[in-house]
């Protein structure tokens, strides 16, 4: 990383994993934004209809799975599938480790708005071990939950003989990353391991000590032998129509009872997303000290690309919000990870990017100014 620079249209950084830039200095998320505006979506809409018709049940059985947290995106997709396409979705939630009151409220509101729903609560002790191991070894404070959002959902779809799983957006395509699935709606297990788990999945599970192998049931993908006689198609809604998180929020608010935070969320200027768990604030702080961009940078990029904010406005907001240590949850984190403050901070320090940050009076401060290349 000889030079650090920002996208000339949004504020994606050159430090972002798997990101690419064109000759103008525009990141691939902004290139995709341009492409979405002029591309003909009719073929993809037809592909979606054919996919839904292929798996649609005519006997009252569930015909697709939608992972939900009670937030805007899963709620929007479940609403569209049920009310626009006549599908019978089964909504699935993987219980996060440190859920927030607002997230619990939104999930209950979603369920009451008229959906069949299953909450999967994998073994909390195993979840804690995986989350702690992920925090220490990978700088991913909810790594166990991140795995289960894929493995437990796929396991449940398999057990219920539901062949179609519909996730929200492909974050790699929408926000800047691998373009491997840009023209392909299917996400293989190998792709999910490589991109979402950053190729550390097998090592983390192999390094975990459990009493019985069955304790890891919800953290393992079904084997090829298990699913050889069954079809299982994992895809994302964003492949089939232009993704718009703010539109999703409005639909979820109107039809699924979604509530937003009274104040802005931790580390950003928005208040209507990622309100389900306390560990998310730690996740985006670690992202910030690893790569130099945090939650506000991500939110600002979305707003720029949808035309709701200028780049200069975004720079001002990012400089205010991005570097926020999640001190309000610190005691909760220490209790959950069973760590002292010194042990916790040593993990934080391990992942601080010394090219980008320096420690001043006990806190990591940026050497850079967002938007100014160096």
Domains of the chain: 42-239 (3.40.50.620), 265-358 (no CATH)
What does DSSP say about strands 363-366 and 357-360: parallel, antiparallel, or unpaired?
antiparallel
> For residue 2, is pLDDT > 80?
no
Cα distance between residue 285 and residue 279, in whole Å: 10
Strand blocks (E) in 125-256: 164-167, 233-236
Q: According to the per-residue pLDDT averaged within each range, which of 58-62, 188-192, 247-251 is highest?
A: 247-251
Tell whether the model's pLDDT for residue 215 goes beyond 90. Answer: yes
CA–CA separation, 276 vs 287, rounded Å? 18
Sign of the four-CA dihedral 301, 302, 305, 306: negative
Residue 207 pLDDT class (50, 70, 90 cuts): confident
In which residue are the tokens 């979820």 written? 252
Report whether 280 contacts 100 (CB < 8 A). no
pLDDT band at 60 (very low <50, low <70, confident <90, very high): confident
Angle between helices 124-138 and 143-159 (to 10 degrees): 130
pLDDT in tens, 259-318: 999 988 888 999 888 889 999 999 999 999 999 999 999 999 999 999 999 999 999 999
DSSP annotation string for 158-175: HHTT--EEEES--HHHHH
Taking 90 as the threshold, does the pLDDT of residue 368 lie above it? Answer: yes
CA distance 178 to 199: 14
Residue 251 CA to its chain's centroid (Å)? 20
| pLDDT at residue 240 greater than cutoff 60 | yes
Two structure tokens written together for 171 = 């974050």
pLDDT at 195: 84
* Residues in a beta bridge with 235: 166
Q: Look at residues 125, 72, 18 and name the one whose alpha carbon lies nearest to residue 274.
A: 72
Angle at alpha carbon of residue 363, lines to 328 and 331, rounded to 5°? 25
The pLDDT, as a whole number, for residue 223 is: 83
Q: Find tokens 């050497």 and name the residue.
A: 367
Strands (E), 97-170: 116-120, 164-167
**Phi/psi at 231 (nearest 5 deg)?**
-95, 140
Q: What is the Rg, in whole angstroms, of the alpha carbon atoms belonging to the chain?
A: 20
Say yes or no to pLDDT of 202 above 90: no
Q: Tokens 């639909």 map to which residue?
A: 251
What confidence tens digit (pLDDT) does each residue in 45-58 have?
999 999 999 999 87
Structure token digits, residue 75: 């709620």
Residue 119 scores a pLDDT above 80? yes
pLDDT of residue 23 exceeding 70, the answer is yes
Place of tokens 């449940």: 156
Give percent helix, percent strand, percent coil of the chain, each to the nearest 5.
50, 10, 40
Q: Express as a percent the part of the chain with pLDDT over 70.
A: 100
Supply the pLDDT for residue 41. 98
Give the model's pLDDT for residue 189: 86
pLDDT of residue 47: 97
Q: Which segment of 26-35, 202-211, 262-271 scores lowest on mean pLDDT?
A: 202-211
State the Cα–Cα distance between residues 157 and 66, nearest whole angstrom: 10
Cα 44 from chain centroid?
23
Task: Give the per-residue pLDDT at 59.
Answer: 82
d(CA 246, CA 190): 31
Give me the mean pLDDT over the 150-160 stretch.
95
Q: At what angle do helices 330-337 and 341-351 cross, to 10 degrees?
A: 100
Average pLDDT over residues 177-195: 89
Query: Over the stretch 89-114, which tens digit does the pLDDT of each residue have?
Result: 999 999 999 999 999 999 999 999 99
Rounded-to-integer distance, Cα 219 and Cα 170, Å: 21
What are the C-alpha distances in Å from 31 to residues 23, 244, 303? 11, 16, 15
Compute the mean pLDDT over every residue in the chain, rounded to the nearest whole number: 94
CB-based contacts of 23, cutoff 8 Å, min separation 6: none
pLDDT at residue 199 tops 80: no
Give me the mean pLDDT over the 223-246 stretch. Answer: 89
Spatial separation of the C-alpha atoms in residues 366 and 323, rounded to whole Å: 8
Instruction: Check residue 116 and report its DSSP letter.
Output: E
Rounded CA gap, 300 and 275, in Å? Answer: 18
Query: What is the pLDDT, as a whole number, of residue 4?
Result: 95
- Least confidently predicted of 197-201, 213-217, 364-368: 197-201
Report the alpha-carbon distance of residue 80 to residue 91 in Å, rounded. Answer: 13
Give pLDDT, residue 1.
Answer: 53
Lowest mean pLDDT among 148-157, 207-216, 333-342, 356-365: 207-216
């Amino acid at each position: 990383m000889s030079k650090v620079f920002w996208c000339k249209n949004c504020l994606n950084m050159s430090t972002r994993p798997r990101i690419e830039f064109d000759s103008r200095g525009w990141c691939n998320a902004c290139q995709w934004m341009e492409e979405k505006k002029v591309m003909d979506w009719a073929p993809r809409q037809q592909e979606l209809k054919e996919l839904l018709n292929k798996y649609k049940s005519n006997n009252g059985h569930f015909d697709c799975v939608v992972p939900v947290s009670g937030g805007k995106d899963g709620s929007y997709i479940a609403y569209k599938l049920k009310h626009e396409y006549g599908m019978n979705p089964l909504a699935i939630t993987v219980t996060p480790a440190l859920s927030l009151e607002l997230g619990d409220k939104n999930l209950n509101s979603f369920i009451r708005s008229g959906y069949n729903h299953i909450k999967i609560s994998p073994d909390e002790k195993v979840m804690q071990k995986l989350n702690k191991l992920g925090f220490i070894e990978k700088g991913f404070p909810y790594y166990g939950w991140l795995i289960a959002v894929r493995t437990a959902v796929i396991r449940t779809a398999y057990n219920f003989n539901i062949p179609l799983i519909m996730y929200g957006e492909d974050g790699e395509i929408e926000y800047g990353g691998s373009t491997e699935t840009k023209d392909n709606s299917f996400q293989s297990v190998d792709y999910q391991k490589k991109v979402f788990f950053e190729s550390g999945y097998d090592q983390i599970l192999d390094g975990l000590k459990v009493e019985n192998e069955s304790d890891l049931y919800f953290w393992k993908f079904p084997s090829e032998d298990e699913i050889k006689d069954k079809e299982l198609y994992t895809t994302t809604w964003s492949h089939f129509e232009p993704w718009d998180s703010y539109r999703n929020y409005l639909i979820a608010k109107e039809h699924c009872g979604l509530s937003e935070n009274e104040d802005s969320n931790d580390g950003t200027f928005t208040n209507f997303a990622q309100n389900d768990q306390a560990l998310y604030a730690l996740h985006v702080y670690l992202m910030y000290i690893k790569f130099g961009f945090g939650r506000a940078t991500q939110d600002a990029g979305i707003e720029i690309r949808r035309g709701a904010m200028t780049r200069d406005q975004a720079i001002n907001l990012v400089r205010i919000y991005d570097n926020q240590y999640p001190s309000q949850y610190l005691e909760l984190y220490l209790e959950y990870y069973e760590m002292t403050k010194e042990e916790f901070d040593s993990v934080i320090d391990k992942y601080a990017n010394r090219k980008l940050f320096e420690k001043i009076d006990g806190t990591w401060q940026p050497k850079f100014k967002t938007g100014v290349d160096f």
